[in-house]
């Protein structure tokens, strides 16, 4: 059961074993500059809520969607668990996001003002869950505007050290806050939360709000509100909603809350999906750094994502594709490897089913990316050109070097 921590913890740092490419940096830079992370923070509040009681009827649940696949894995770690990895990896994508979050303008301003007061920030930021204001726009804004701010911050921190980030303690900036969104282009509805055994943090369950979309994601957040891990399950059967600035976009119209996590949306994703489907297969985002936060700061992590995702942060990323699989995923690793996993987690339950589905759904990586030849569109919305590939020691899969 527990175990993961070790794995997760980590985070990796970037660097380490990667061949050096200048790419790294570039990546980072790119990310920062172009893509920006999503950072966000917001106000927050913590609330305590009453509890509800319910009776329950029973039964219905079988809906579960099977489309998804799963992933699991966890963590990060370096281990080498190759086998496991394989299995798990297959479907899973992990992303480690360091910072990120989206912030609303207000927040931004606040931050700006506060700038120094991290503490203050912290307090606010922490949990909000969302609702507030930002929903609609945040994403965009962030991207454009905010991002920069963040970016810089994050970046700075990241690379430089982010002191602040965590300095503040929990996190202010970097952190993710509560549930807010980082908009990943999709709208999510929280349908459950639970303390899972293997992790220290509560796991929140989100579902894509589009009517027929089976995609779900699990988000674990630290006390501070930072995202410790995100796992995506399933494939969207609809295009992303684009954040139009003011609008809510897509579907629902209201703001959505995307929970916090992931991606950035910012960009119009280029091509991502030809059809509009396949957006995410499964991914995971891990951030748990608490542990050591001290070390470095950024949360380096890894990301594996598949088609849509994102990356963010300031980290170094490396991308690798597993061959195996479905190609679904391309992984971004940020630091080290992690992978994980293992067996410990019981997660497996439904997984099996999912896997099957997954396979079906996912396959065709190539298809998915039209560009696959030399250029690939990773989840970040940008197009990358492969300029190298190499087998890296701790990692079972060849690592690709991409240039933006």
Partner DNA sequence: ATAATTTGACCGTCC
Partner DNA sequence: AGGACGGTCAAATTA
Contact residues: Zn ion, CB under 5 A: 208, 210, 213, 215, 236
Q: Quick check: helix, strand or coil at residue 49?
A: coil
Q: Using the minimum distance from each CB to Zn ion, give the nearer residue, 31 or 280.
A: 280
What is each CA distance from 1 to 74, 89, 93, 345, in whole angstroms? 12, 19, 21, 6
Instruction: Select the residue interacting with DNA from 25, 116, 197, 246 (CB under 7 A).
Output: 197
Q: What is the DSSP letter of 239?
A: P
- Residue 283 lies near DNA (rule: CB under 7 A): no
User: Segment contacting DNA (CB under 7 A): 53-61, 108-116, 144-152, 284-292?
Assistant: 53-61
Residue ranges in 92-162 assigned as alpha helix (H): 105-114, 118-124, 138-141, 147-150
Neighbour-count burial of 353, counting CB atoms closer than 10 A to its CB (0-12 exposed, 13-18 middle, 19+ buried): middle
Q: Are 217 and 233 in contact (CB under 8 A)?
A: yes
Q: Using the minimum distance from each CB to DNA, give the nearer residue, 130 or 368.
A: 130
Smallest gap from residue 229 Cβ to DNA (A): 11
Smallest gap from residue 91 Cβ to DNA (A): 13
Q: What residue 208 binds from Zn ion, DNA, none (CB within 5 to 8 A, per partner kind)?
A: Zn ion
- Residue 194 lies near DNA (rule: CB under 7 A): yes
Distance of CA 8 to the CA centre of its chain: 14
Token readout for 227 is: 């995202």
Q: Quick check: helix, strand or coil at residue 367?
A: helix
Strands 188-195, 375-377: parallel, antiparallel or unpaired by DSSP?
unpaired
Smallest gap from residue 352 Cβ to DNA (A): 6
- Residue 73 lies near DNA (rule: CB under 7 A): no
Instruction: Select the residue interacting with DNA from 216, 238, 288, 307 (CB under 7 A).
Output: 216
Q: What residue 193 binds from Zn ion, DNA, none (CB within 5 to 8 A, per partner kind)?
A: DNA
Q: Using the minimum distance from each CB to DNA, give the nearer residue, 33 or 131.
A: 131
Give the DSSP H/E element, type plus range, for residue 376. strand 375-377
Please count the residues of the chain. 404
Q: Using the minimum distance from each CB to DNA, give the nearer residue, 253 or 276.
A: 253
Q: Quick check: helix, strand or coil at residue 364?
A: coil
Token readout for 162 is: 């982010």
- Residue 212 lies near DNA (rule: CB under 7 A): no
Q: Using the minimum distance from each CB to Zn ion, give the nearer residue, 305 or 339.
A: 305
Token readout for 171 is: 């996190």
What is each CA distance from 60 to 44, 57, 121, in whole angstroms? 35, 8, 43
Size of the site for DNA (CB under 7 A): 55
- Residue 356 lies near DNA (rule: CB under 7 A): no
- Residue 249 lies near DNA (rule: CB under 7 A): no
Q: Using the minimum distance from each CB to DNA, give the nearer residue, 205 or 392.
A: 205
Instruction: Select the residue interacting with DNA from 54, 112, 211, 212 (CB under 7 A).
Output: 54
Q: Using the minimum distance from each CB to Zn ion, give the nearer residue, 169 or 277.
A: 277
Smallest gap from residue 367 Cβ to DNA (A): 26
Q: What residue 399 binds from Zn ion, DNA, none (CB within 5 to 8 A, per partner kind)?
A: none
Burial 232-243 (b: 16+ CB within 10 A, else e): bbbbbbbbbbbb
Please give the residue ranges that form the binding site for DNA (CB under 7 A): 1, 47-65, 129-132, 179, 188-198, 203-205, 207, 209, 216, 218, 252, 254, 256-257, 259, 345-350, 352
């Amino acid at each position: 059961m527990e175990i993961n921590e070790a794995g997760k913890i980590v985070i990796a740092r970037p660097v380490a074993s990667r061949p050096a490419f200048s790419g790294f940096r570039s990546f980072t830079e790119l990310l920062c500059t172009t893509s920006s992370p999503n950072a966000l923070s917001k106000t927050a509040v913590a609330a305590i809520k009453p509890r509800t009681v319910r009776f329950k009827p029973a039964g219905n649940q079988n809906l579960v969607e099977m489309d998804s696949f799963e992933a699991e894995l966890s963590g990060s770690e370096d281990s080498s668990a190759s086998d496991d990895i394989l299995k798990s990896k297959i479907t899973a994508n992990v992303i480690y996001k360091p910072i990120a979050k989206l912030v609303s303008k207000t927040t931004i301003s606040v931050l700006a003002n506060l700038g120094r007061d991290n503490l203050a920030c912290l307090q606010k930021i922490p949990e909000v869950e969302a609702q507030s204001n930002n929903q609609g726009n945040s994403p965009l804004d962030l991207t454009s505007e905010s991002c920069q701010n963040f970016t810089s911050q994050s970046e700075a921190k990241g690379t430089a050290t982010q002191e602040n980030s965590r300095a503040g303690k929990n996190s202010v900036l970097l952190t993710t806050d509560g549930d807010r969104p980082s908009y990943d282009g999709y709208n999510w509805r929280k349908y459950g939360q639970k303390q899972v055994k293997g992790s220290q943090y509560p796991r929140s369950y989100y579902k894509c709000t589009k009517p027929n979309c089976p995609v779900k994601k699990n988000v674990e957040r630290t006390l501070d509100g930072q995202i410790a891990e995100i796992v995506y399950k399933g494939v969207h059967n609809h295009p992303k909603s684009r954040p139009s600035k003011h609008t809510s976009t897509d579907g629902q119209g209201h703001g959505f809350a995307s929970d916090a996590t992931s991606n950035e949306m910012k960009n119009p994703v280029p091509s991502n999906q030809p059809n509009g489907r396949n957006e995410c297969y499964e991914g995971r985002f891990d951030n748990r750094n608490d542990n050591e936060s001290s070390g470095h700061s950024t949360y380096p992590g890894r990301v594996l994502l598949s088609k849509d995702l994102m990356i963010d942060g300031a980290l170094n990323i490396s991308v690798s594709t597993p061959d195996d699989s479905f190609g679904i995923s391309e992984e971004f690793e940020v630091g080290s490897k992690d992978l994980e996993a293992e067996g410990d987690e019981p997660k497996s339950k439904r997984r099996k089913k999912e896997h099957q589905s997954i396979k079906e759904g996912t396959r065709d990586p190539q298809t998915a990316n039209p560009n696959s030849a030399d250029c690939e569109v990773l989840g970040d919305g940008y197009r990358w050109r492969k300029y190298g590939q190499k087998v890296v020691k701790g990692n079972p899969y060849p690592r690709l070097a991409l240039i933006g």
